[in-house]
Structure 1
Amino acid sequence: MRKALYIFGLLADADVELMARLGRKRKLAPGDVLIKQGQVLDRLYLLLDGHMDVDISGLGVVATLSSGEILGEMSFVDSAPTSATVRALDEVSLLELRKDELEARFASDPALGMRFFKAISVFLAERMRSTIARLGYGGAASLASEELLEDELDEGLLDNVAIAGERFSRLMRLLADAPEA
């Protein structure tokens, strides 16, 4: 859930409502593959509930994701084939957002596009910091790490934590009765 706070802290209330309207709710059973390594992906996923493993050929499982994570974000940004296979560990609930539908909205509302891509950028930066820290390079710490001092956190991010949590909760309420794709 902590990762969702980075994203929803930078979006507006209307953006969250738009995501709920545009998105399709999906469920996966344990063992189901959502993304295959090397696949060209035309959508983005928000993990609402459950756990998923990220497996890279030749390396094995490199991460286990939980509620609030974004999947397919790198391919969404650069349109390159996916870099990992993502598989459900247990029953999973996702919000699927199609790239073409989001891009059409960004074209008509550039401010929405700016907020969305800034949120993705902050999310990717956090993921990169976590990876660097896990690999032991340069003693870097992630925003999710307890190693950071309070004054090292971005003040804007801290101010938005409560708002972000409420936005994620609102998205969950809006999707509660949504039909599954």
Structure 2
Amino acid sequence: MTIKSLAEIGHKEVLEWIKSGPFLLRHMEPGEYLLRQGQTLEHLYWIDDGYCTVSYTAANGRRFSHGRFNIEDRLYGEIEFLTGKPIQFDIRCDGPVSVRVIPIAELEALLVQHPHVGIWLSQCLADTYQGVMDRVTSHFMYPLAYNIAKDLMLRELGNKPPIQFERVFREAERFGCSERVYRRAVSQLIELGLVEKRGRELKVANKDKLQRYLSDEEER
């Protein structure tokens, strides 16, 4: 059997465990936090359905956002569960969210009884790690305008959810920059005829031209 098939078995096992277990079900409102950066993990959360934002605030007050996610059947707190370290990111509800509260001891027992769940959890963490490192590496290696353009192209192609923040400062946080710097990069893309504003959203103005721009930046 492959790692993928073993992980699929673990996924089925954890879903059955979640749905049949006597876990506390909480209905959280927009603005409430599941997890707070720097705190000690007391329990994990299994999200049945809802929208959440994931962000990090540095000691100097600068804020980086991983964005807004449509979550379904997702475990949060798993990294801190495995490392024993303080919570790394703020997980904030960005709409009504239904969650099940998972005691740490219960998850520990499940991993002992069902080893396939551990393989599934490892695969989830590996996927998350690769996704985060792809974004971080791109932010270091390419200009801000390129990263904004690439983000818009991925959404245009359907490779990322078509979700953006309406507030400019929150979009700037996704790229780890100030609102002023973000606006300047967007203006550059608009002047080049690559993107356009439609209401409060940015959209690709010319897909072929934008693809050529991305290719040129990558070859420099």
What TM-score do you get using the length of structure 1 for normalisation? 0.62
Question: Structure 1 pair 13/130, CA: closer, same or farther in 2 (3 Å)?
Answer: closer
1:38 corresponds in structure 2 to: 38
Give how far 1:22 is off: 4.2
Stretches of 4+ aligned residues off by more than 6 angstroms: 5-8
Question: How many residue pairs align between the two structures?
Answer: 132
Does 1 or 2 have the higher relative contact order (CA < 8 Å, sep 6+)?
Answer: 1
2:66 corresponds in structure 1 to: 62
Provide the identity percentage.
22
Give how far 1:11 is off: 1.8
Larger Rg: 2
Cα distance in 2 for partners of 1:79, 1:43 equals: 12
Gaps of 5+ in 1: 139-144, 147-181
Cα distance in 2 for partners of 1:30, 1:7 equals: 36
Give how far 1:23 is off: 2.7
Cα distance in 1 for partners of 2:44, 2:6 equals: 13
Q: Determine whether 1:17 maps to 2:16.
A: yes
Deviates more, 1:42-51 or 1:120-129: 42-51
Q: Determine whether 1:73 maps to 2:55.
A: no
Cα distance in 2 for partners of 1:12, 1:57 equals: 32
Retained in 2: the 8 A contact 1:7–1:123? no
Q: State the secondary structure of the residue aligned to 1:83.
A: coil
Q: Determine whether 1:115 maps to 2:107.
A: no
Cα distance in 2 for partners of 1:41, 1:99 equals: 9
Residues 48-91 of structure 1: per-residue CA shift (max 9 Å, x gap): 11111111012332232322332111011111110011111111
Deviates more, 1:23-32 or 1:65-74: 65-74
Retained in 2: the 8 A contact 1:6–1:119? no
Question: Structure 1 pair 123/6, CA: closer, same or farther in 2 (3 Å)?
Answer: farther
What TM-score do you get using the length of structure 2 for normalisation? 0.52
Cα distance in 2 for partners of 1:91, 1:7 equals: 33
RMSD over aligned CA atoms reads 2.8
